[in-house]
Amino acid sequence: MAVKKLKLSPDGFPDLGLIGIHTDLSDHRLAYFINKETKLQLERLDDLPVFNERSKVIRDYCLYHWADVDRRIDYYLIKNSHQEGKMIEQYAQANYFLFIKGVLNGEVTKPLQGILRKIISITFVFVPDINKIKELDGILQDLEIHVISQSTRLKQVK
């Protein structure tokens, strides 16, 4: 019997914006410049563990987060590189991805792209086709679990 895979519809991620960034900056320098040029306040979290379906291993990727509580938008800056491979292989040219959850119809992504393009050390900025990223669903699940575990851990420390 043939195995059927669930295929995402074009509206599979209606509240997600994604921006690819190519730069030689380190993660903390990139976060600094993004915070400086925008109204974001990205802060470093523990590395994001992402399960790679192809190699069946978990790799850790650098993660920054900021929540705009007033607008109900979460921003995640995630490094695409790991010494053993890329998180999103289809877009290997991107060193980082800026995930924007809670955004509708590019209301935030388009102005943000313009601001990112003006940062001198960023070589180029692009919008990947979300529907062509096979591992996106798994990455978003890993991200959600990681953020919940981070917030739970922080509450326990307080």
**Rounded average pLDDT per 10-residue block, the chain, 158 residues:** 46 80 96 95 95 89 94 94 90 95 76 93 94 91 91 60
Give, as one character, the DSSP assignment of residue 91. G
Within-domain flag for 2: no
Give the per-residue pLDDT at 71: 86
8 found inside a domain: no
Name the residue range of residue 137's domain.
16-157
**CATH number, domain containing residue 81:** 3.30.310
pTM: 0.87
Closest CA to 61 of 75, 50, 74: 50
**75 within some domain:** yes
| Contact indicator for 1, 83 with CB cutoff of 8 Å | no
Number of domains composing the chain: 1
Asked, for residue 51, whether it belongs to a domain, the answer is yes
pLDDT of 14: 74
Is position 64 within any domain? yes
Cα–Cα distance, 23 to 30 (Å, whole number):
8
CB 99 within 8 A of CB 78: yes
Contact 48, 142 (CB under 8 A): yes
Please report the pLDDT score of residue 4 as a whole number.
47
Report the interhelical angle of 27-37 vs 109-118 (nearest 10°): 110
Q: Is residue 129 part of a domain?
A: yes
Q: How big, in percent rounded to 5, are the helix, strand and coil portions of the chain?
A: 30, 35, 35
Among the listed residues 115, 81, 78, 82, the one whose alpha carbon sits nearest the alpha carbon of residue 99: 78
**Structural domain includes residue 32:** yes
Specify if 6 maps to a domain. Answer: no
